[in-house]
Amino acid sequence: MRLGEGFVHFLRAAYARAYVRIVGSFREPVWLISDAVLPAVGMCAFVLLYRALGAPASFEALAVLGGILSAFWINVLWGMGTQLYWEKQQGQLQLYFVSPVSRMAILTGMAVGGVLATTLRSVAGILLGFGVLGVRVPAFDVGLLAVVFLVSMAALYALGMILSSAFLLFGREAWHVSNALQEPVYFMSGLYFPLRTLGAAAWALAGIVPLGLGVDAMRQVLLGEAAHGLAPVPVETAILAGMAVILLIVARLMLAHLENLSKREGRLAQRWQ
Amino acid sequence: MPSASRAPAVLTHDLRRTYRASRGGGEVSALAGVDVRIERGEIFGLLGPNGAGKTTFIKILTTLLFPTGGEARVVGFDVVRESQEVRRRIGLVSGGESSGYGILTVRECLWMFAQYYGVPSRIAWPRADELIAIVGLEEQAHSRINRLSTGQRQRMNFARAFVSDPEVLFLDEPTLGMDVNAARKLRDYVARWVREREGRTVLLTTHYMAEAEQLCDRVAIIDRGRVLACDSTPALRRQVQGGQHVELEVRGAGPELDLALLSGVQAVWGAPHPERGTRTLKFRLPVGEVLGEVLRGLEAQRVQVDSVSTRETTLEDVFIAIVGRGLEETEAPS
């Protein structure tokens, strides 16, 4: 197969896998509640708390952005991390392994579909935060925000690809691990407060989960100095881009290792094992 | 080594696979040196009891599992070193599997799998429609998969294997869970598909002897990881002809019944009759042996015979003669 044909095949497969997610977001409205409305409720609590305490208005915007982005972390955990394990239980993983499709195309489709579907759902958080609660932000560079958002999502979903392989190895523990990771990452990423508040530990935490740096950079684009950023936006964006590349490579290696293990042991693609 | 274009559909040599035992640290042999050659254009059946090695064999050929010894090639490509070439040319249906996402429609699901095989959408959509008609799911074409019945879903899985127009199709218990009419239609389609599309090959494993008998050009009987016989069904039948095939419906047979005491025959148990409380005892009565001797042997063990019937040699008889037990039979009733 020529390189061009291989790339077209990759795109077709990724599109087909992403299609499932995008279609799903329209066909199952109940997912909107669990993935967008519920995280937005937490966001409302922080906005009202900051308002009651008389904190600067920028803190309210900071909490709204955190609330919106928390939906992406939920999607990474439950829509990426546990996905391959779920596919295995459904008997689907075996069909991927027996087809000539690039395994990374499947993960890319899952990630792109997840980002698009969650972006659509995050409209609920935007409406609630900026519409119902009346939180305001000064004029900002929309193009720069889009770039930072995309780079952050690339790094975050690359981490999700790694988790999907790792969780497959964990087997039934995947659900517990996902549960265990949900809340701590909200804290580690400074979703509802400036990451800089944590001092030196902030950099260590930002190096573990890309969400923290992404949130920090996007806040700075929206709020400028009032965001109390950790480092300048170009620096954070460059670090995120680097993380995305490294995490993608690790994800690819892990998936290849996993498939190899599956063929050696004869169990991973098998249901109920 | 034959080139890929002229190579047999499947060629294995001394194919072996062992698994680590879950307890005790030993090894369990699933395949103990399998040599099979399947020509292009054949429908080849693989028959064996549970644990015989059929699924392991198919998993190796479909690149899902590494062999631990020997060699396997599919359309000339090594399943380990050239697995990607193999995958482009094969399709797999496992009975009882539930492929696809419940949120997609039947049509969308078939299209999705076609994309994984690199089939352009302009070909994939009409092909999906054609396959939907073949498996009789026209009314469900735009229904979500999670609203299909088990049988409908199984038919969709069957259609899925054809979306890439594979050169070699692996059907592992494909009609499991299907109603009789649907299963018959799908068997007819498989036969037509192989006949009409030059060079297409099917490797079928099934528990339904009649299915293997109706479809397969050749059948391999496998047990404990070894191929015990491999030939066309008429040739296999000839191997065990001579004498009568007898089926007795008996009652009162307890676990103490000693089949070895039955005069000169190797008998196996069939499934129990749920309403009559009887069970079928099957055996071939060699030439020169007298049925009365067997009946007396049963009477001596206080077994009541309700009915006696004799018939022509079937593939099941061949299977029993070679393996020593039936597909459905494992041990004496308790």
> Which of B64, B83, B111 should be substituted to probe chain A, the one whose Cβ sees the most A Cβ atoms within 10 Å?
B64
Task: Let me know if residue B208 belongs to a domain.
Answer: yes
Lowest mean pLDDT among A168-172, B32-36, B117-121: A168-172
What is residue A58's predicted lDDT score, i.e. its pLDDT?
A: 86
What is residue B261's predicted lDDT score, i.e. its pLDDT?
A: 64
DSSP state string for B113-153: HHHHTT--HHHHHHHHHHHHHHTT-GGGTTSBGGGS-HHHH
What is residue B332's predicted lDDT score, i.e. its pLDDT?
A: 37
Q: Which of B233, B259, B289 is a domain's end point? A: B233
Structure tokens at B91: 């399709």
Residues of A with Cβ-Cβ distance to B99 under 8 angstroms: 90-92, 95
Task: Let me know if residue B177 belongs to a domain.
Answer: yes
With an 8 Å Cβ cutoff, are A100 and B84 in contact? yes
| Nearest residue in B to A25, CA atom | B103
Same domain assignment for residues B250 and B202: no
The dihedrals phi and psi of B118, each to the nearest 5 degrees, come to 80, 20
Task: Let me know if residue B3 belongs to a domain.
Answer: no
Same domain assignment for residues B162 and B294: no
What is residue B256's predicted lDDT score, i.e. its pLDDT?
A: 62
What is residue B126's predicted lDDT score, i.e. its pLDDT?
A: 97
Q: Cβ atoms within 10 A of the Cβ of A24, count?
A: 17
**β pairing state of B90-94 and B77-78:** unpaired
> Which residue did the predictor score with more confidence, B265 or B40?
B40
Question: Domain of B171?
Answer: 10-233
Whether pLDDT at B203 is above 90: yes
Structure tokens at A214: 């992404």
Q: Out of A5, A9, A269, name the one closest to residue B64 (CB).
A: A269
Whether pLDDT at B327 is above 70: no
Question: For the segment B282-303, what is each residue's pLDDT rounded down to a tens digit?
Answer: 887 777 777 888 888 888 888 8
Whether pLDDT at B78 is above 90: yes
What percent of chain B has a predicted confidence (pLDDT) above 70? 88
Distance, in Å, from the CA atom of B224 to the CA atom of B30, rounded to the nearest integer, reads: 7
With an 8 Å Cβ cutoff, are A94 and B94 in contact? yes
b (16+ CB within 10 A) / e for A105-126: bbbbbbbbbbbebbbebbebbb
Residue ranges of chain A whose pLDDT lies below 50: 272-273
With an 8 Å Cβ cutoff, are A13 and B115 in contact? yes
Question: For the segment B221-248, what is each residue's pLDDT rounded down to a tens digit?
Answer: 999 899 999 999 888 887 776 667 888 8
> Which of A11, A263, A271, A272 should be substituted to probe chain B, the one whose Cβ sees the most B Cβ atoms within 10 Å?
A263
Residues of A with Cβ-Cβ distance to B65 under 8 angstroms: 263, 266
Whether pLDDT at B252 is above 90: no
Task: Let me know if residue B317 belongs to a domain.
Answer: no
> Which of A7, A28, A93, A99 should be substituted to probe chain B, the one whose Cβ sees the most B Cβ atoms within 10 Å?
A99
Q: Out of B98, B113, B164, name the one closest to residue A91 (CB).
A: B98
Residues of A with Cβ-Cβ distance to B157 under 8 angstroms: none
pLDDT band with cut points at 50, 70 and 90 for residue B255? low
Compute the nearest-CA separation of A255 from chain B (Å): 14
Same domain assignment for residues B207 and B128: yes
- Domain containing residue B65: CATH number: 3.40.50.300
Q: Out of A5, A23, A269, name the one closest to residue B104 (CB).
A: A23
**Range list of β-strands (E), A182-251:** none
Coil, helix or strand at residue B259? helix
Q: Out of B17, B99, B103, name the one closest to residue A91 (CB).
A: B99
With an 8 Å Cβ cutoff, are B118 and A13 in contact? yes
Q: Which of B233, B262, B279 is a domain's end point? A: B233
Q: Which has the closest alpha carbon to A214: A123, A165, A256, A153?
A: A153
With an 8 Å Cβ cutoff, are B62 and A269 in contact? no
Task: Let me know if residue B19 belongs to a domain.
Answer: yes
Question: For the segment B12-21, what is each residue's pLDDT rounded down to a tens digit?
Answer: 999 999 988 7
Same domain assignment for residues B169 and B65: yes
Structure tokens at B118: 């690199």
Task: Let me know if residue B210 belongs to a domain.
Answer: yes
Is the separation of the CB atoms in A73 and A182 below 8 Å?
A: yes
Distance, in Å, from the CA atom of A257 to the CA atom of A263, rounded to the nearest integer, reads: 10
User: Tokens 């249906």 appear where?
Assistant: B93
Same domain assignment for residues B215 and B79: yes
Same domain assignment for residues B114 and B25: yes
Question: For the segment A249-271, what is each residue's pLDDT rounded down to a tens digit?
Answer: 999 999 999 889 888 887 766 65
Residues of A with Cβ-Cβ distance to B84 under 8 angstroms: 100
Residues of B with Cβ-Cβ distance to A269 under 8 angstroms: 64
pTM over 0.95: no
Tally of domains within chain B: 2
**C-alpha to C-alpha distances, B243 to B29, B236, B237, B249, B309, nearest whole angstrom:** 36, 15, 12, 19, 14
Q: Which has the closest alpha carbon to A21: B147, B26, B285, B108?
A: B108
**Residue A78 DSSP code:** I
Same domain assignment for residues B144 and B272: no
Residues of B with Cβ-Cβ distance to A87 under 8 angstroms: none
Task: Let me know if residue B178 belongs to a domain.
Answer: yes
pLDDT band with cut points at 50, 70 and 90 for residue B79? very high
Q: Which of B205, B233, B261 is a domain's end point? A: B233
> Which of B18, B116, B121, B143 should be substituted to probe chain A, the one whose Cβ sees the most A Cβ atoms within 10 Å?
B116
Same domain assignment for residues B213 and B246: no
- Establish, for the pair of chains A and B, how many residue pairs have beta carbons separated by less than 8 Å: 85
Structure tokens at B208: 């339904």
Q: Out of B65, B117, B121, name the one closest to residue A99 (CB).
A: B117
CA angle, B184 then B187 then B192, to 5°: 125
Helical packing angle, A83-90 and A142-170, nearest 10°? 50
With an 8 Å Cβ cutoff, are A98 and B115 in contact? no
> Which residue did the predictor score with more confidence, B257 or B249?
B249
Distance, in Å, from the CA atom of B118 to the CA atom of B107, rounded to the nearest integer, reads: 17
**Residue B260 DSSP code:** G
Is the separation of the CB atoms in A111 and A80 below 8 Å?
A: yes
Structure tokens at A48: 């009202």
Residues of B with CB under 8 A from a CB of A: 17, 19, 56, 59, 62-66, 84, 87-88, 90, 92, 94, 97-101, 103-104, 108, 111-113, 115-118, 120-121, 144, 160, 164
The dihedrals phi and psi of B91, each to the nearest 5 degrees, come to -135, 155
b (16+ CB within 10 A) / e for B281-303: bbbbbeeebebeebbebbeebeb
Compute the nearest-CA separation of A92 from chain B (Å): 6
Coil, helix or strand at residue A107? helix
pLDDT band with cut points at 50, 70 and 90 for residue B96? low
Section B106-125 average pLDDT: 95
What is residue B151's predicted lDDT score, i.e. its pLDDT?
A: 84
**C-alpha to C-alpha distances, B320 to A159, B172, B245, B249, B267, nearest whole angstrom:** 55, 21, 11, 18, 9
Residues of A with Cβ-Cβ distance to B113 under 8 angstroms: 95, 99
pLDDT band with cut points at 50, 70 and 90 for residue B143? very high
With an 8 Å Cβ cutoff, are A99 and B87 in contact? yes
- Domain containing residue B298: CATH number: 3.30.70
Same domain assignment for residues B117 and B155: yes
| Nearest residue in A to B19, CA atom | A265
With an 8 Å Cβ cutoff, are A263 and B66 in contact? yes
Lowest mean pLDDT among A241-250, B117-126, B254-263: B254-263
Same domain assignment for residues B178 and B276: no
Task: Let me know if residue B322 belongs to a domain.
Answer: no
Same domain assignment for residues B207 and B72: yes
Same domain assignment for residues B166 and B47: yes
Residues of B with Cβ-Cβ distance to A266 under 8 angstroms: 17, 19, 56, 59, 64-65
What is residue A98's predicted lDDT score, i.e. its pLDDT?
A: 92
Section B76-91 average pLDDT: 95
**C-alpha to C-alpha distances, A103 to A108, A109, A163, B59, B132, nearest whole angstrom:** 9, 10, 15, 18, 27
What is residue B284's predicted lDDT score, i.e. its pLDDT?
A: 77
Compute the nearest-CA separation of B63 from chain A (Å): 6
